[in-house]
């Protein structure tokens, strides 16, 4: 769907749910709030302005790969997207700029991750939704361990999740990644964290300290300010939640009617 307010901007929907937004004239424009929060994480990765090796699980319209290519010239990126029809559609109607080093793979995200070499990425961005749900096999302890293996020392994992009170899914994901990574944080709007509505939450995990103070400053300046939860507050949110195994994994919950749909 074209955006009437921006000349070459497009909204991609899948089964009625907004999936990606791309401005072909300005790849640094991140329309969706969760994408801006992932952008903040990418901006803080490694030395400022340095090219990165980034692995994207979930492709959509390649919004974040375009952003990285524009803000971190010379970066090497792999995108794994199981929906090959979607990849073909995006390649035809929303092509990447010439010279951008983005390799696109039409495969299952976890299978591709399992075959990836050790220490291959500075950042791993997970934004995989089957319709409006995160698939079950991308929620488990075994998956988190594969992500850690593929990240370089000091690397960062960032995932777009969605949940609402009482946060059974989000809490289980935090418990799962806390089992593997030394440091965690989550970015979400205060209304979401207080359980007032269903919404997106960006999970961040690393073996190194996460620069939460700077992330908090950046997210507070967004059009829809968010909070960065970490430390004791995050441990309270996890509570008695337990890590997810492959045997008991379930997809993320279906959003309440109308949460993310477009007319």
Rounded to whole angstroms, how far apart are CA atoms 135 and 113?
15
Rounded to whole angstroms, how far apart are CA atoms 211 and 80?
27
State the residue for tokens 């919004």. Answer: 63
Measured at the CA of 75, the angle between CA 36 and CA 59, to 5 degrees, comes to 55
Question: Is the pTM here over 0.85, yes or no?
Answer: yes
Q: Does residue 152 lie in a domain region?
A: yes
* Residues of the domain holding 130: 28-238
Q: Does residue 22 lie in a domain region?
A: no
For the segment 221-263, what is each residue's pLDDT rounded down to a tens digit? 999 999 999 999 999 999 999 999 999 999 999 998 755 544 3
Taking 80 as the threshold, does the pLDDT of residue 127 lie above it? yes
pLDDT at position 259: 57
Q: Does residue 261 lie in a domain region?
A: no
| Cβ proximity of 22 and 93 under 8 Å | no
When divided into structural domains, the chain yields a total of: 1
- What average pLDDT does the chain have? 93
DSSP state, 14? E
Residue 99: pLDDT band with limits 50, 70, 90: confident
Domain CATH code at residue 172: 3.40.50.150
Q: Does residue 263 lie in a domain region?
A: no
Q: Does residue 49 lie in a domain region?
A: yes
pLDDT at position 262: 40
């Amino acid at each position: 769907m074209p955006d009437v307010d921006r000349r070459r901007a497009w909204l991609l929907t899948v089964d009625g749910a907004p999936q990606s937004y791309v401005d072909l004239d300005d790849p640094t424009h991140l329309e969706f709030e969760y994408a801006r929060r992932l952008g903040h994480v990418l901006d803080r990765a490694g030395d400022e302005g340095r090219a990165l090796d980034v692995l994207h699980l979930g492709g959509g319209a390649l919004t974040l790969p375009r952003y990285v290519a524009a803000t971190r010239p010379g970066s090497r990126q792999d995108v794994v997207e199981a929906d090959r029809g979607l990849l073909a559609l995006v390649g035809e109607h929303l092509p990447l700029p010439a010279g951008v080093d983005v390799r696109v793979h039409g495969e299952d995200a976890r299978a591709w991750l399992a075959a990836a070499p050790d220490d291959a990425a500075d950042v791993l961005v997970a934004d995989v939704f089957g319709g409006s749900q995160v698939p079950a096999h991308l929620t488990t302890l075994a998956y988190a361990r594969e992500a850690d293996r593929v990240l370089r020392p000091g690397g960062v994992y960032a995932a777009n999740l969605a949940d609402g009170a009482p946060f059974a899914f989000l809490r289980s994901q935090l418990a799962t990644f806390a089992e593997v990574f030394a440091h965690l944080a989550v970015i979400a709007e205060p209304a979401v964290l207080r359980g007032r509505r269903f919404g997106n939450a960006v999970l961040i995990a690393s073996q190194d300290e996460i620069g939460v103070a700077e992330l908090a400053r950046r997210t507070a300046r967004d059009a829809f300010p968010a909070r960065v939860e970490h430390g004791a507050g995050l441990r309270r949110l996890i509570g008695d939640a337990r890590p997810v195994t492959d045997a008991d994994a379930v997809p993320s919950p279906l959003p309440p009617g109308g949460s993310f749909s477009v007319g």
